[in-house]
Homo-oligomer: A and B are copies of this chain.
Amino acid sequence: MVEIIIPFKPHSPKSRLSDVLSLEERNKLMNYMLLDVIDTAKECSKDVVVLSSGKIGFAVGCEVIEDSRSLNEAVNSVIDKNVAIIMSDLPLLTREVLERFLRCEGDVVIAPGRRCGTNMLLVRDERFRVSYHYGSFIKHVKIAEMLGMNITIFDSFYAWVDIDDRNDLLELMIHGEGRSKHYLEKIGFRVDYKKDPILCRMQNSEVHTIEKSTG
């Protein structure tokens, strides 16, 4: 049975969302995304652990390990012969996608994220070490190569879309099905499909258009 580790940082700032969500809303969204990922993980494994950098103030329904060290130190201390490390801000992840990921062959399976990130890692060789941040996808490929390991790149947009800015909220509203999407709906978010889809928010009976980022 694969162990699924979900690193989590309570009160993560997600500051690129600060122009469309208040601090409280951002925290709630982060928490709902964590719960979405836990739900999906529990459908695929009985051994799901949240690896949190601090105290979590709500029930998550699975084991929690608190470890205040850096993300890399904390994750490397739990690397094992059969462990998957899944980021907590992947609310589009579904059981089917995670099952396909866990079935992939290879000593190391990497699901890349935007800007050279690593959204999911499956490690079947305990010598592997993670190095998140600063182009981790390329770094993880190089680490595995240096250790002579077989690598599989996992191709999925559901695993690729993490929630970092307002464009991602649009993707969550279009493709999401879990609690994070329902939370956004509850606080007034809608997609206007009249022309090119745009994110809107109902506030005080008014519709506010949330423009996309300028390229």
A interface vs B, CB < 8 Å?
A: 16-17, 19, 97, 112, 114-116, 133-135, 137-138, 155-160, 164-167, 170-171, 174-175, 191, 193-197, 212-215
Contacts and interface: CB of A to CB of B under 8 A. Distances in A.
A165 to B, nearest CB: 3
Given A164-B215, A171-B114, A215-B164, A193 B157 contact: no
Contacts of A135: 191, 193, 196-197
27 contacts: A16-B214, A16-B215, A17-B215, A97-B155, A112-B157, A114-B171, A115-B171, A115-B174, A115-B196, A116-B174, A116-B193, A133-B196, A134-B193, A134-B194, A134-B195, A135-B191, A138-B174, A138-B193, A156-B156, A156-B157, A160-B160, A165-B215, A166-B215, A167-B215, A213-B213, A213-B214, A213-B215
A193 B194 CA distance: 40
A175 B112 contact: yes
A212 B115 contact: yes
A92 to B, nearest CB: 9
Contacts of A97: 155
Which 6 residue pairs across A and B have the least CB separation, nearest first?
Answer: A165-B215, A16-B215, A157-B160, A135-B193, A213-B213, A157-B157
A170 B117 CA distance: 12
A171 B215 CA distance: 14
